[in-house]
Amino acid sequence: MILPILGRSSLAQCSLYSIIRNMLPLLRRSLFAVLLAGAATLLPAAPTQGNLEAGPAWPAITRQTRPWAYWWWHGSAVDKTNLSRELQRYHDAGMGGVHIIPIYGVKGWEDKFIDYLSPKWMDMFAYTVTEAHRLDLGVDMTTGTGWCFGGPHVTDAEANAMAVVRKFDVPAGGTLAEKIDRKATQALVAFSPEGKAVELTSRIGADGLVNWTAEGGPWRIYAVSQRPSGQKVKRPAPGGEGHMLNLIYPEAVSHYTQWFDDAFKGYRGPKPRAMYHDSYEYRSDWAPDFFSRFEKLRGYRLQNELPAAVRQLVTN
């Protein structure tokens, strides 16, 4: 049936329109009831009188859940009397533990400084952990002094490092006049104008001269070595001074942690809960095994792509 177009007053008199208008309040109430019922299924059951009186069930408070604090040992100028006193204060304040960070000393107290990881330092450390456990406190320590990791055992080769790249141009028929340090050089590669690469590292003689004559050319030679970044441990404690460690060189890390293995070898006290790294503010973009590890991971020799790889690193 086709209904005629009605005006507003006439539409109001239409029976279908009237039925729908009259049903709207009922539909609204029904929808509200459905939403209310759905929400009720998501709400927890009403607490009983017993639950209200008991309160929420909090987990047991242990040293792990209490706050811990950094504990700076200035110059490691500590003694057993004051260690006990300070630990008692931490306990009385409601602390859960301490984190020991040896740092630079205070002027005028030099005669009380204790070298880091020395037998005397280890004795003070053992006393500290024993006293802390008596007071139900935990103890952590940094794997080094100040920040970042490093110290007197870190050699130039194992310090956080930067790549050093030098370029030499050799004309056709010419040789490389520059003497090259065979021990320090990690790669010496010549590139032709067409991009052909010739490995020269093995041709460096004991006298530093390179046994090679350029055929065609001109050739460009890249020499890659490394140097310490210059970063030293910041705010080191006595016995912790030296280069920052090269963390991207696994051999360096192994040698560094041997320092702690040796110190703890004869240690008879309780161990710390954890060793902690205070800071990652290193400046390191190279390592002695960078080329070999790159080839193992990527499947090709980076030495053959030096013009592209070191474009931003060249320093003559």
Are residues 246 and 199 part of one domain? no
Q: Average pLDDT over the chain, rounded to whole?
A: 86
Task: Tell me what pLDDT residue 44 has.
Answer: 52
Are residues 298 and 181 part of one domain? yes
Mean pLDDT on 213-220: 92
Task: Tell me what pLDDT residue 9 has.
Answer: 41
Q: Within the chain, where are the H helices?
A: 8-12, 15-42, 49-54, 80-92, 119-134, 250-265, 290-298, 306-309
Task: Tell me what pLDDT residue 90 has.
Answer: 98
Are residues 238 and 103 part of one domain? yes
Q: What is the DSSP letter of 159?
A: B
How many domains would you assign to the chain?
2
The residue with tokens 């010549």 is 190
Does some domain include residue 44? no
pLDDT of 2 > 60? The answer is: no
Are residues 240 and 214 part of one domain? no
Does some domain include residue 55? no
Identify the top-confidence range among 16-30, 48-62, 226-240.
226-240
Are residues 221 and 82 part of one domain? no
Residue 223: both structure tokens together: 């020499």
Q: What is the pLDDT of residues 59-76, one digit of tens each?
A: 889 999 999 999 999 999
Are residues 256 and 224 part of one domain? no
Give the 3-state secondary structure of 154-210: CCHHHECEEEEEEEEEECCCCCCCCCCCCCCCCEEEEECCCCCEEECHHHECCCCCE
Does some domain include residue 1? no
pLDDT of 193 > 80? The answer is: yes
Mean pLDDT on 183-193: 97
Task: Tell me what pLDDT residue 48 has.
Answer: 57
pLDDT of 203 > 70? The answer is: yes
Q: What percent of the chain has pLDDT over 70?
A: 81
- Domain of 236? 65-154+230-283
Are residues 180 and 258 part of one domain? no
Are residues 295 and 267 part of one domain? no
pLDDT of 159 > 50? The answer is: yes
Q: How confident is the model at residue 38 (pLDDT cuts 50, 70, 90)?
A: low
Q: How confident is the model at residue 16 (pLDDT cuts 50, 70, 90)?
A: very low
Q: What is the pLDDT of residues 78-133, one digit of tens each?
A: 999 999 999 999 999 999 999 999 999 999 999 999 999 999 999 999 999 999 99
Are residues 81 and 184 part of one domain? no
